């Protein structure tokens, strides 16, 4: 599975064409998303992915996000096995995003 850093993702999402194409999937629990989130991210908690992954487009690039990058990596591997073509894990998760990209995004 591909990996992307928070600064790389931020730069990618600045491109208008990429912003329209990329799906950002946050797999954290609702209480975590309430604390901190990426703008425009679609949320499906990790435990609901097997039942809800059909809500995602397997033909579009998909960036998986969690707190530190471990749950999102597991989800990404699952989605690859389901036929998703371009799955990318955010290395360091929302924690890296808040430290390296957006200091206004709370860390926890």
Q: Could you list the active site residues?
A: 66
Q: For residue 42, give Cα distances in angstroms to 26, 47, 78.
A: 6, 15, 17
**Degrees to nearest 5, angle at CA 10 with 100 and 63:** 105
Burial of 59 (0-12, 13-18, 19+ CB in 10 A): exposed
CA pair distance 42, 62, nearest whole angstrom: 10
């Amino acid at each position: 599975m591909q990996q992307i850093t928070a600064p790389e993702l931020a730069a990618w999402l600045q491109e208008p064409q990429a912003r329209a194409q990329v799906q950002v999937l946050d797999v954290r629990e609702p209480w975590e998303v309430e604390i901190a989130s990426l703008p425009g991210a679609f949320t499906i908690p990790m435990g609901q992915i097997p039942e809800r992954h059909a809500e995602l487009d397997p033909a579009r690039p998909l960036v998986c996000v969690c707190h530190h990058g471990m749950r999102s990596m597991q989800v990404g591997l699952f989605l690859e096995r389901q036929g998703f073509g371009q799955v990318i894990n955010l290395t360091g998760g929302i924690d890296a995003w808040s430290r390296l990209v957006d200091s206004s995004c709370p860390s926890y």
